[in-house]
Chains A and B, each alone.
Chain A
Amino acid sequence: MKTNSQNGSQMTPIIEVTDLRVHYGDKLALKGVSFDVYQNEILGIIGPAQSGKTTLLKVINRTLEFTPDATIEGSVKLDGEDISTISDVYGLRRRIGMVQPLPVGLPLSIYDNVAFAPRTAGIRSKSELDVIVERCLQQAALWEEVKERLNTLGTQLSGGQQQRLTIARALSHQPEILCLDEFSIAVDPVTTMRIEEVLKTLRTEMTILLVTNLVQQAKRLANRTAFFLNGDLIEIDTTDIIFSENPAEQATYDYVNGTFG
């Protein structure tokens, strides 16, 4: 499969996935996928349920290791370095921001939620943390709504605010890559649009992997889009081509146009 890149994103691959296979016990969840992710692009990842999208994200930040019977073959390189050989796995996870489908407000205050990762990384000074917390909440378009009540529990926020809080939290360790896993599932359309605006501005600072159940969201945001189906990468190309009248694969056309899935 040939990939090309347009829309002004640079051609340096930040993630190189080569022949990645993941088994859960006997079940093959990813059936040997290969693709690159380029610096400062938004890569949309679409596909129906059970197609391996979430598994892919878990491989990249190495949280799949917590699933007891999961086995990984093939390689994933981050900045040219094979992630399975990185010894500081906690450092690796801090290079990658992760936003889960349902907002997980840790049972901590808003402030502590955002300061969580910097603290685990060893930042202790209050003034430094204050700066980080404000910056991240600003970036996630949440600062104006919560600046008066940073010490209330994060779980008391509305669903949409909580999701922006998790984005702020994912940004708190200044990741190179931001992975969003179907972030709009629990969020109303207005908040979704706000978060999408946020993502557009973040593109200049980092690479974004956007797993989404909303095909149109990929169309709106992504430079390139990858279509996964049953653990196979069916097609990856510029979003324009994927959403055009003639993508390389018929299945892509059918899915994008809502014929199935």
Chain B
Amino acid sequence: MNILRFITAGSVDDGKSTLIGRLLYDSKSILADQLEQLEKSSAKKNDKGEIDLALLTDGLRAEREQGITIDVAYRYFTTPVRKFIIADAPGHVQYTRNMITGASNAELIIILIDARQGVVEQTRRHSIIASLLKIPHVVVAINKMDLVDFSQDVFNNIIIDYSKVAAQLGLKDVKFFPISALQGDNIVERSEHMSWYEGPTLLQFLEEVPVENDINLNDQRFQVQYVIRPQTEDLHDYRGYAGKVQSGIFKKGDKIKILPAGIESTIESVEIGGKELSEAFAPQSVVIRLTDDIDISRGDAIVGRDQGPELKSELDVVLCWLDEKPLQPGNKYYLQHNARTVRTVVRNLEHKIDVNTLQPLEVSTPVTLNEVVRAKLKTAAPVVYDSYENSQTNGAAILIDETSNSTVAAVLFQ
């Protein structure tokens, strides 16, 4: 059994929370007492006696009162085949940063489209986030088919429209599903109303979509998080470098180098919990020991000798701005690249990227919340990285405001 992490996105009232409620309900992940609570809350909201599945996911009082999703909620369900981690992200424009939070760890995105509305501005915006963050698999769930008489023509027309968007954005693995989240058609059970649809149900697809191929086993990348030095009598000289394998396979005898210092060494052992492993791969958290006694600290990279990542202090990046306070060119920020933090200054703002068209826009106004911009960063020390295109684990970072400590931007290395 493995894990699939996915995010659901849609505009207001597309039925996103209802879809998640339906997945949980039909996969029997909602238990009797939770259902009872739900019935009570539903009765408070409507007098039709119907269960409002959306109430399951809206966890904050303000959300229940306003009937909207403000922040990402995480939901879990398990079938015999997979464990699913759902990030239920808000659809409103002003909560895009929360959607990016949910999308950054997702292997798959479900974009909901209201069958009556077709592709709308928010569909494009959510698809652009999927494209920017390189979410490998895209599911387009065309919802509320019950309100368009389960029409195959409506479904096909939306496929044609969306395919243009996908082509423009370079989204590759896109699958379409005609569903009704409210009534449960094609979610877990096959729809009785759409015999013309021959594909799998949504859940069947989520169970089967291969995710293991997304792991890079070639480029050895490991960043030191923490140095283990017990300094006890029996472990006097022990030095272990604790961290997570970002990509590639690490094993005893591998010839490696340490960056940014550029020192070469050999792996003496790969361990976890004090026991030696024959090899380690992503995303395992392990301890690496080297044959040489070298001064290595948090944030240093251990990489394969012949497969150098980039090592630069002038970086081309795309920034997704996530803070209420606009970007201040010339101000210093912290750039946190996993375990490595360096000070940085935003040098050039090259152009903004229109999040509705992906077209470049001239930078004539400050970069504000939810805007995306191409920029150049200058860092106080070199950064060891790969492009986000090649590595989502070594190609991403965040900017932190030195004075407020807030996370103000998502950084994608180009």
Q: Do A and B actually bind? A: no
